[in-house]
Amino acid sequence: MSRLKLLWRFARAYPLQLTAALVALAVAALTTLAIPQGLKMVVDNGFARGSDPAAIAPFFSAFLGLVGLLGVATALRFFFVSWIGERVVADLRTAVQRHLITLDPVFFEENRPAEIASRITSDTAVIEQVVGTSASLALRNTVMGIGGLGYMFWVSPRLTLMMLLVIPLTMVPILVLGRKVRDISRASQDRVADMGTMVSEVLGAIRIVQAFTQEAREALRFGAAVERSFDTAKRRIRLRAVMTALVITLVFGAITLVLWQGALDVISGRLSGGSIAAFVFAAAIVAGAFGTLTEVYGDFMRAAGAAGRMEELLSARPQIRAPAQPAALPVPPRGEIALNDVHFHYPSKPDAPALNGFTLTVAPGETVAVVGPSGAGKSTLFQLVQRFYDPDGGDLRIDGVAYRDADPHEIRERIAVVPQETVIFAASALENIRYGRPDATEAEVWAAAEAAHADAFLKDLPDGIHSFLGESGTRLSGGQRQRVAIARAILRNAPILLLDEATSALDAESEKLVQSALDDLMKDRTTLVIAHRLATVRGADRIVVMDKGRIVAEGTHDSLMAGGGLYARLARLQFDQLAA
């Protein structure tokens, strides 16, 4: 149960709503406790008037006023408690997502994004049920309701049958308003599903989010989705508050009217005052069964478990983070990258070195192609350059500043990347291209698209550059998606460019066009290129050949071909395949 303290940390941020909820709860409780006293006044003063039925009316009118106050107070209590519950869940979801996008890839190797998305949606829904609903229909109320009806029937079958005839009237607002509540609840679940989709998408593309330093923007985008969900939930709890007021007023109003008939029975001698008092208490129990929502122990246990899982996410700390006083990177940036005797193992593969004594310096403006068989460590090099991981040993520097001394965000601000697995967000082409530069103008976006030879097919889309590209860019072909990613990197205009097989999904004609655009882009820019098709790297200033985490050769295409070895063997295999 101590895990529920997490929820209190969020709830106490709204003292006014908490105070309103407590006041409404106190008024409702005091009004409920006043009902027996109201009954006493009716019995002592109303029934004592004997044969004068008109004299009873003021006391019953006062009692009806008390019931009305109870209905209003209970509705206000429900509204404010539910508001706090929805607000706490909204803030919790935002805080968890905002925290998750700051965590490094190591965390997501050990925790599946789909599971995390489930925590943010499903677990918070459980919390919402407990925090936002002060009571629920439970076994205790069912037993009390059935037992109360049995007792009422034993005291006065006639009045009990009248009650059973009146109770269906309370079902009218439940049936009428219940349909609206159901529809709004469905809309609310749709909003929650939208959030789950957004979370899965962003966490699945966490490297792109961090590479383009869009953590803050994604937090704002998710926050807007959370607020849309909260607005829908607010409509639901407002309608339920009205329904609660109507049901409670009708139930207790029915009791009051039946009690009025019972008083007439007492006057006529068919019932005693004690019997009608007992009947009222039993009727109150039955009304409580219909009007009270209870929180059961099992729900609290589920909420405690869900809160514990949320706490685990919030307590996770990134291994890659800025030092207390990060070293400033030189301005203007030079674009130099230096790795010296770097050793690295992936946390999930501690016995398999990904880089083993790797040393490489890329001068400002130099284009270096990295080639080698699968598993040689090429992608690992890119991961370290973007500082998604820190090496186990050795030193990395950017413009002369050690990676560990710099702010990772500033490092990534100086890098543009075109990954092998193209990431397209479920947004417009405009938003996708300017992902790394959200403040770019539409003209600048079009210029980047033209440089990537993406302008022609973007103009053909129904809404041009404003067209929605579908989930993961489903409305585009593989080559088109890759050109959008290249346009994104062009618009980023960073001093360091990482190309991970950037033309792999293009046909021969498109590859030629895009390669020409990339050649222009790489001028006066430090570029690291991973290439599997060796024909695309002949023009590199230097080719680095990797195998088993080490550099085994480096030079130009011609010198490496003349020297034989791994590069010459890979080149011959590829060229022979092309010739075949």
R_g of the chain computed on alpha carbons? 35
| Distance separating alpha carbons of residues 384 and 391, to the nearest angstrom | 7
Residue 295, pLDDT score? 47
Residue 360, pLDDT score? 92
CATH topology for 329-414+541-580 is Rossmann fold (3.40.50)
Q: Residue 478's CB: how many other CB atoms inside 10 A?
A: 13
CATH 3.40.50.300 occupies which residues in the chain? Answer: 329-414+541-580
∠ CA 412-417-421, nearest 5°, is 130
Q: Are 371 and 363 within 8 A, CB to CB?
A: no
User: What is the chain's pLDDT, residue by residue, as a tens digit (580 residues)?
Assistant: 566 777 778 888 889 988 888 788 777 766 765 665 566 566 656 655 454 666 667 767 777 887 888 888 888 878 887 888 888 888 888 888 888 888 888 788 777 776 677 677 777 777 777 666 643 344 445 556 666 677 678 777 887 787 777 666 666 666 677 667 656 765 665 577 577 767 777 877 888 888 888 888 888 888 888 888 888 888 878 877 887 787 777 777 776 777 777 777 777 777 766 567 767 777 776 766 665 544 455 566 667 767 777 888 888 888 888 888 889 999 888 889 999 999 998 887 888 888 998 999 999 988 898 988 888 888 889 999 999 888 999 999 999 999 999 999 899 899 988 887 788 888 888 998 998 888 889 999 999 888 888 888 888 888 888 988 887 787 888 778 888 888 898 888 889 999 887 666 566 776 777 777 777 777 778 989 887 777 667 778 899 988 888 988 888 888 888 887 888 887 777 665 544 4
Q: What is the DSSP string of 339-376?
A: EEEEEEE-TT-TTSEEEEEEEEEE-TT-EEEEE-STTS
Task: Please give the C-alpha separations between residue 512 and each of 6, 507, 518, in angstroms, as whole numbers.
Answer: 57, 9, 10
Residue 140, pLDDT score? 46
CA dihedral 156, 161, 162, 165 (to 10 degrees): 160
∠ CA 455-458-463, nearest 5°, is 140
> Among candidates 402, 399, 406, which has minimal Cα distance to 331?
399
Q: Residue 162's CB: how many other CB atoms inside 10 A?
A: 16
Q: Are 308 and 362 within 8 A, CB to CB?
A: no
Residue 361, pLDDT score? 92
Q: Are 210 and 423 within 8 A, CB to CB?
A: no
Q: Residue 466's CB: how many other CB atoms inside 10 A?
A: 13
Q: How far apart are the first and last CA of the chain?
A: 70
User: Which one is the CATH code of 2-315: 1.20.1560, 3.40.1000, 1.10.1200, 1.20.1070?
Assistant: 1.20.1560
Residue 384, pLDDT score? 92
| 129, containing H or E segment | helix 124-132
Residue 342, pLDDT score? 92
Residue 340, pLDDT score? 93
Residue 385, pLDDT score? 92
Q: What is the largest CA-CA distance in the chain?
A: 123
CATH 1.20.1560 occupies which residues in the chain? Answer: 2-315
| Distance separating alpha carbons of residues 121 and 112, to the nearest angstrom | 15
State phi, psi for 529 to the nearest 5 degrees. Answer: -120, 125
